[in-house]
Amino acid sequence: MPKLSVVVPFYNVQTYAPDALKSLALNARDDFEFVLVDDCSTDGTPALLERAARELPGAVHVRHERNGGLATARNTGLDAARGEYLAFLDGDDWLAPGHLARMLAAIEALSCDFIRTDHVKCTGRARSVQRVPYGPQGVVADPRTAILPADRATSVDYPYAWAGMYHRRLLDSGLLRFTDGLRTAEDRPWIWRLHREAESFAVVGLPGVFYRRGVSTSLTQIGDERQLDFIKAFDEVLSDVREDRESELFLPKAVRTYCAIIAHHFGSIGRFEPAVARKLRSMSAAALGRMPQDVLDRVLDSMDAERAAVLRRVRGGRRRALAGAAS
């Protein structure tokens, strides 16, 4: 059994894949494997991965016959992974030399279910370190204690799967798998489930992942209907939290985060295609209607005036539509 498996999905990233693959080579060890998942790329990415399968130590090459999206590609990689520990990287990002070995040493020393790390955000030539929003470092804790408070950024607002390392027991219990088919926000139900159901975690800093922003092929830059999967993702978060033994404690956080994401999308609604923008309005209104209304009232009262006003308009439009249909 390899000590570590790294799952790396690729989709039409021929410009950036060489950086990712080179960084894996600079992290290679005899007991590491790299599961390279080609999500049915249509550019030059497959040729790059075929070459890597021959030349990169520890490479395992898997190819989808149909494009399934990031969540499904990660699951395919998890199915193929054999390691005692697991990590992720996206095909348009890269790692600092030796980063994987440092993370592995940290999680083994701490003997916890998972660790979370800082990362470096890269926008053009600009670089900035993004910190895990959790105070103590190098201290093993109950992951549930890192979900709150509701009105401040916490560990569940830092959902990046590649910013950490995970023991195989989480995979064996089902906690590392993503919801198949989610095209965006696939990491939101994942991080919530991890923090609610895993037994131990720690934050260790180690900003060795370089996260490339502003990539034209990234779904975050494309205003088509796939972006609306954030509603499916957060509906799943709400459903899971409602079943939690401390649902009353965690629901305000889940509702507030859902509302913040809806308001964020309305703040940049001009980037969506007109039909998608209309669907965003109707789906967001319906989503607000599905939330526990007493919790939603308290959340809106506690949010800043600008976002609360946007959300109240969306909510009010649905109420008017329902009243009109009933009359």
- Give the span between the Cα atoms of 231 and 184, in whole angstroms: 9
**Phi and psi angles of residue 297, each rounded to the nearest 5 degrees, phi first:** -60, -45
Residue pLDDT tens, the chain, 327 long: 899 999 999 999 999 999 999 999 999 999 999 999 999 999 999 999 999 999 999 999 999 999 999 999 999 999 999 999 999 999 999 999 999 999 999 999 999 999 999 999 999 999 999 999 999 999 999 999 999 999 999 999 999 999 999 999 999 999 999 999 999 999 999 999 999 999 999 999 999 999 999 865 554 445 678 899 999 999 999 999 999 999 999 999 999 999 999 999 999 998 888 999 999 999 999 999 999 999 999 999 999 999 999 999 999 865 555 544 444
- Give the span between the Cα atoms of 186 and 211, in whole angstroms: 17
DSSP string, 301-326: HHS-HHHHHHHHHHHHHHHHHHHHHH
Please measure the distance between the N-terminal and C-terminal CA atoms of the chain and give it in whole angstroms: 66
* pLDDT tens readout for residues 152-177: 999 999 999 999 999 999 999 999 99
Residues 6+ apart with CB under 8 A from 204: 103, 106, 107, 110, 115, 116, 117, 137, 138
Task: Report the run of H or E that residue 5 belongs to, with start and end.
Answer: strand 4-10
The predicted pLDDT at position 145 comes to 97
- Give the span between the Cα atoms of 190 and 167, in whole angstroms: 15
* pLDDT tens readout for residues 57-74: 999 999 999 999 999 999
Does a cis peptide bond (omega within 30 degrees of 0) precede residue 149? Answer: yes
Residues 6+ apart with CB under 8 A from 210: 23, 93, 94, 95, 96, 119, 120, 122
Q: Which of 249, 257, 240, 265 is nearest to 302 (CA)?
A: 257
Residue 11 is classified by DSSP as S
Q: Pairing state of beta strands 164-167 and 114-117?
A: antiparallel
Judged by DSSP in three states, 4 sits in strand
Residue 246 is classified by DSSP as T
Q: Pairing state of beta strands 201-205 and 94-95?
A: unpaired
- Give the span between the Cα atoms of 21 and 242, in whole angstroms: 41
Task: Report the run of H or E that residue 298 belongs to, with start and end.
Answer: helix 293-302
Q: Which of 49, 54, 58 is nearest to 12 (CA)?
A: 49
- Give the span between the Cα atoms of 237 and 255, in whole angstroms: 9
